[in-house]
Chain A
Amino acid sequence: MPLTLINMSNTTQPLLNVKNLKAQLELDEGTLKAVDGMSFSLDRGKSLALVGESGCGKSMTVESIMRITPKFAKITGQILFYPKVGNPLDLAKLNPRGAELRAIRGGDIGMIFQEPMTAFSPLHTIGNQIIEGVRIHKTRDKQEARRIAIDILTKVGISNPEQRVDEYPHQLSGGMRQRAMIAMALACEPSLLIADEPTTALDVTVQAQVLKLMRDLQHEFGMAILYITHDLGVVAKMVDEVAVMYLGKIVEYTDVDSLFYNPRHPYTQALLKSIPKVGKKQRGRRLASIEGSVPTPINRPKGCAFFARCPQALEGICNKEDPPLVELSEGHKVSCFLYPEVAEAVKVGTSHPSERHHVN
Chain B
Amino acid sequence: MDVSAPATEAANEDVYYDIANQRQLIWRKFRRHRVAVFSLYLLVFLYTLTIFAEFFAPYGAFERHSGYLFAPPTRLHFIDDEGRFQLRPFVYKVTNELNMETFQREYVEDRTEQYPLSFFVRRDPYKILNILTTDVHLFGVEEPGVFFPAGTDELGRDLFSRMLLGARTSLFVGLIGLFFGLFLGLLFGGLSGYYGGGVDTFIQRLIEFLQSLPTLPLWMALAALVPPTWSPIQVYFGISIVLAIVGWTGLARVVRGKLISLREEDYVLAAKLSGVRERDIITRHLLPGFTSYLIVYLSLAIPGMILGETSLSFLGLGIRAPAVSLGTLLQEAQNVQAVTLNPWLLIPGGLVVVIVLAFNFLGDGLRDAADPYKHV
Direct A/B contact, Cβ within 8 angstroms: yes
Tell whether A296 is near chain B: CB-to-CB under 8 Å.
yes
Query: What's the minimum C-beta distance from A24 to chain B, rounded to whole angstroms?
Result: 11
Most chain A CB neighbours (cut-off 10 Å) among B3, B4, B5, B8: B4
Complex CA gap A34/B4 in Å reads 10
Which chain B positions have C-beta within 8 A of A34? Answer: 1
As a 0/1 sequence over residues 1 to 30 of chain B, the CB contacts with chain A under 8 angstroms (1 = contact) are 111110111000000000000000000000
Complex CA gap A320/B42 in Å reads 53
- Contact between chains at A59 and B4 (CB < 8 Å): no
Which chain B positions have C-beta within 8 A of A338? Answer: none
The size class of the interface chain B forms with chain A is under 10
Q: Which of B1, B7, B8, B9 contacts A60 (CB 8 A)?
A: B1
As a 0/1 sequence over residues 290 to 301 of chain A, the CB contacts with chain B under 8 angstroms (1 = contact) are 000011111000
As a 0/1 sequence over residues 12 to 35 of chain A, the CB contacts with chain B under 8 angstroms (1 = contact) are 000000000000010101001010
Which chain B positions have C-beta within 8 A of A294? Answer: 4
Tell whether A55 is near chain B: CB-to-CB under 8 Å.
yes
Complex CA gap A295/B5 in Å reads 10
Most chain A CB neighbours (cut-off 10 Å) among B1, B3, B7, B8: B1
18 A-B pairs with C-beta separation under 8 A: A25-B1, A25-B5, A27-B5, A34-B1, A55-B1, A55-B3, A55-B4, A55-B7, A59-B1, A60-B1, A70-B2, A294-B4, A295-B8, A296-B5, A296-B8, A296-B9, A297-B4, A298-B8
Chain A, range 296-324, C-beta contacts under 8 Å to B: 296-298
As a 0/1 sequence over residues 102 to 118 of chain B, the CB contacts with chain A under 8 angstroms (1 = contact) are 00000000000000000
Which B residue sits closest to A27, measured CB to CB?
A: B5
Query: What's the minimum C-beta distance from B4 to chain A, rounded to whole angstroms?
Result: 3
Tell whether A54 is near chain B: CB-to-CB under 8 Å.
yes
- Contact between chains at B5 and A298 (CB < 8 Å): yes
Query: What's the minimum C-beta distance from B275 to chain A, rounded to whole angstroms?
Result: 35
Complex CA gap A316/B94 in Å reads 84
- Beyond A27-B5, A55-B3, A55-B4, 10 additional pairs, beta carbon < 8 A: A25-B5, A29-B9, A32-B1, A32-B5, A34-B1, A57-B1, A59-B1, A294-B4, A295-B8, A296-B8
Chain A positions near chain B (C-beta within 8 angstroms): 25, 27, 29, 32, 34, 54-55, 57, 59-60, 70, 294-298
Q: Which 7 interchain pairs have the tightest Cβ spacing?
A: A55-B4, A296-B8, A60-B1, A34-B1, A57-B1, A32-B5, A59-B1
Which chain B positions have C-beta within 8 A of A55? Answer: 1, 3-4, 7
Most chain B CB neighbours (cut-off 10 Å) among A54, A55, A297: A55
Query: What's the minimum C-beta distance from A70 to chain B, rounded to whole angstroms?
Result: 8
Which chain B positions have C-beta within 8 A of A298? Answer: 5, 8
Which B residue sits closest to A247, measured CB to CB?
A: B4
Query: What's the minimum C-beta distance from A225 to chain B, rounded to whole angstroms?
Result: 21
Query: What's the minimum C-beta distance from A51 to chain B, rounded to whole angstroms?
Result: 16
Complex CA gap A297/B9 in Å reads 11
Which B residue sits closest to A32, measured CB to CB?
A: B5
Which B residue sits closest to A297, measured CB to CB?
A: B4
Which chain A positions have C-beta within 8 A of B4? Answer: 54-55, 294, 296-297
Which chain A positions have C-beta within 8 A of B9? Answer: 29, 296
Query: What's the minimum C-beta distance from A33 to chain B, rounded to whole angstroms?
Result: 10
Complex CA gap A76/B2 in Å reads 19
Complex CA gap A25/B8 in Å reads 15
Which B residue sits closest to A70, measured CB to CB?
A: B2
Which chain A positions have C-beta within 8 A of B5? Answer: 25, 27, 29, 32, 296, 298
Which B residue sits closest to A73, measured CB to CB?
A: B1
Complex CA gap A59/B1 in Å reads 7
Complex CA gap A295/B7 in Å reads 11
Complex CA gap A32/B4 in Å reads 10
Query: What's the minimum C-beta distance from A36 to chain B, rounded to whole angstroms?
Result: 12
- Contact between chains at B8 and A54 (CB < 8 Å): no
Complex CA gap A57/B3 in Å reads 11
Which chain A positions have C-beta within 8 A of B3? Answer: 54-55
Complex CA gap A32/B8 in Å reads 12
Query: What's the minimum C-beta distance from B7 to chain A, rounded to whole angstroms?
Result: 8
Complex CA gap A296/B3 in Å reads 11
Query: What's the minimum C-beta distance from A73 to chain B, rounded to whole angstroms?
Result: 9
Which B residue sits closest to A294, measured CB to CB?
A: B4
Chain B, range 81-118, C-beta contacts under 8 Å to A: none
Complex CA gap A55/B7 in Å reads 10
Which chain B positions have C-beta within 8 A of A27? Answer: 5
Complex CA gap A226/B9 in Å reads 31
Complex CA gap A352/B186 in Å reads 67
As a 0/1 sequence over residues 136 to 162 of chain B, the CB contacts with chain A under 8 angstroms (1 = contact) are 000000000000000000000000000
Query: What's the minimum C-beta distance from A325 to chain B, rounded to whole angstroms?
Result: 21
Complex CA gap A282/B9 in Å reads 38
Complex CA gap A60/B3 in Å reads 11
Complex CA gap A69/B1 in Å reads 11
Query: What's the minimum C-beta distance from A27 to chain B, rounded to whole angstroms?
Result: 7
Query: What's the minimum C-beta distance from A312 to chain B, rounded to whole angstroms?
Result: 25
Query: What's the minimum C-beta distance from B29 to chain A, rounded to whole angstroms?
Result: 15
Which chain A positions have C-beta within 8 A of B2? Answer: 70
Query: What's the minimum C-beta distance from A297 to chain B, rounded to whole angstroms?
Result: 7
Most chain B CB neighbours (cut-off 10 Å) among A32, A34, A70, A296: A296
Which chain B positions have C-beta within 8 A of A60? Answer: 1
Query: What's the minimum C-beta distance from B307 to chain A, rounded to whole angstroms?
Result: 36
Query: What's the minimum C-beta distance from A267 to chain B, rounded to whole angstroms?
Result: 17
Query: What's the minimum C-beta distance from B9 to chain A, rounded to whole angstroms?
Result: 7
Which chain A positions have C-beta within 8 A of B8? Answer: 295-296, 298
Which B residue sits closest to A296, measured CB to CB?
A: B8
Which chain B positions have C-beta within 8 A of A296? Answer: 4-5, 8-9
Complex CA gap A347/B7 in Å reads 37
Complex CA gap A268/B3 in Å reads 23
Complex CA gap A25/B4 in Å reads 13
Which B residue sits closest to A54, measured CB to CB?
A: B3
Which chain A positions have C-beta within 8 A of B7? Answer: 55
